Amino acid sequence: MELARKQYLDQLIKKKDNGRVKIITGIRRCGKSYLLFELYTKYLLTQGIREDQIIGLALDELPNARYRNPMELDQYIRSKITDQSKRYYVFIDEIQFVSEIQNPYIDDPDARLTFIDVVLGLIKIKNADIYVTGSNSKMLFSDILTQFRDRGDEIRVYPLSYAEFYDAYKEDKRHAWRDYYTYGGMPVVLSLDTHEEKSKYLHELFTKTYLKDVVERHRIVNDTEVLEDLLNILSSAIGSFTNPTKLSNTFVSEKQIKIAPATIEHYLSYFVDAFFLQKAERYNVKRKKYMKTLQKYYFADVGLRNARIGFRQQEETHIMENIIFNDLKRRGFDVDVGVVEYNCTDRIGKKIRKNLEVDFVVNRGNQRYYIQSALTVAEPKKMNQETESLKRIPDSFKKMVIVKDDIHPWRDEHGILFLSVEQFLLDENAIDL
User: What CATH number is attached to the domain comprising 43?
Assistant: 3.40.50.300
Element (H, E) at 183: helix 176-183
pLDDT for 110: 85
pLDDT for 285: 93
- Same domain, yes or no, for 238 and 258? yes
- Mean pLDDT per block of 10 residues along the chain (433 residues) reads 93 96 92 96 97 96 96 97 96 92 89 89 94 75 58 92 96 95 96 96 92 88 88 91 94 91 94 92 92 92 94 87 97 95 78 88 95 93 93 94 95 96 95 89
- Taking the CA atoms of residue 11, residue 13, residue 19 and residue 24 in that order, the dihedral angle to the nearest 10 degrees is 50
Q: Which residues contact 146 (CB under 8 A, 6 or more apart)?
A: none
Q: Report d(CA 239, CA 217) in Å as an integer.
A: 29
- Same domain, yes or no, for 143 and 208? no
First to last CA, the chain: 33
Question: If 0-12 CB within 10 Å is exposed, 13-18 middle and 19+ buried, where does residue 420 land?
Answer: middle
For 50: left if phi > 0, alpha if psi spans -120 to 50, otherwise beta; the answer is beta
- Same domain, yes or no, for 101 and 143? yes
With contact defined as beta carbons under 8 Å apart, do 118 and 82 qualify?
no
Strand partners, 352: 344
Q: Report d(CA 175, CA 178) in Å as an integer.
A: 5
With contact defined as beta carbons under 8 Å apart, do 180 and 165 qualify?
yes
The answer as to whether 323 is a domain residue is: no
Domain stop point among 156, 175, 200: 156
Neighbours of 300 (CB within 10 A): 25
Q: ∠ CA 359-363-368 to the nearest 5 degrees? A: 85
The answer as to whether 322 is a domain residue is: no
Question: If 0-12 CB within 10 Å is exposed, 13-18 middle and 19+ buried, where does residue 281 land?
Answer: middle
- Same domain, yes or no, for 228 and 178? yes
- Same domain, yes or no, for 152 and 176? no
pLDDT per position as a tens digit, 141-194:
545 556 666 688 889 999 999 999 999 999 999 999 999 999 999 999 999 999
The answer as to whether 233 is a domain residue is: yes
* Count of structural domains, the chain: 3
Q: Backbone phi, then psi, for 57, in 5-degree steps? A: -145, 120
Neighbours of 403 (CB within 10 A): 22
The answer as to whether 319 is a domain residue is: no
Domain stop point among 156, 178, 212: 156
Q: Which residues contact 213 (CB under 8 A, 6 or more apart)?
A: 28, 135, 136, 274
Domain stop point among 156, 178, 201: 156
The answer as to whether 392 is a domain residue is: yes
The answer as to whether 14 is a domain residue is: yes
Going across the sheet that includes 54-58, the strands are 54-58, 88-93, 128-134, 21-25, 152-156
pLDDT for 350: 77
Distance of CA 280 to the CA centre of its chain: 12
Q: Report d(CA 372, CA 402) in Å as an integer.
A: 6
- Same domain, yes or no, for 273 and 215? yes
Query: If you ran DSSP here, which 8-state letter would residue 100 be given?
Result: P
**For residue 424, what is the domain's CATH number?**
3.40.1350
For strand 417-420 and strand 410-411, is the pairing parallel, antiparallel, or unpaired?
antiparallel
With contact defined as beta carbons under 8 Å apart, do 324 and 333 qualify?
no
The answer as to whether 73 is a domain residue is: yes
Rg (CA), the chain: 24
- Same domain, yes or no, for 19 and 130? yes
Which whole-number Å values give the CA distances from 83 to 88, 126, 130, 358, in the listed order?
Answer: 9, 12, 16, 58
- Same domain, yes or no, for 261 and 143? no
- Same domain, yes or no, for 278 and 354? no
Which whole-number Å values give the CA distances from 408 to 176, 359, 399, 417, 429, in the listed order?
Answer: 19, 22, 17, 10, 15
- Same domain, yes or no, for 278 and 192? yes
- Same domain, yes or no, for 183 and 114? no
The answer as to whether 326 is a domain residue is: no
Domain around 74: 6-156
- Same domain, yes or no, for 428 and 366? yes
Q: Backbone phi, then psi, for 284, in 5-degree steps? A: -85, 110
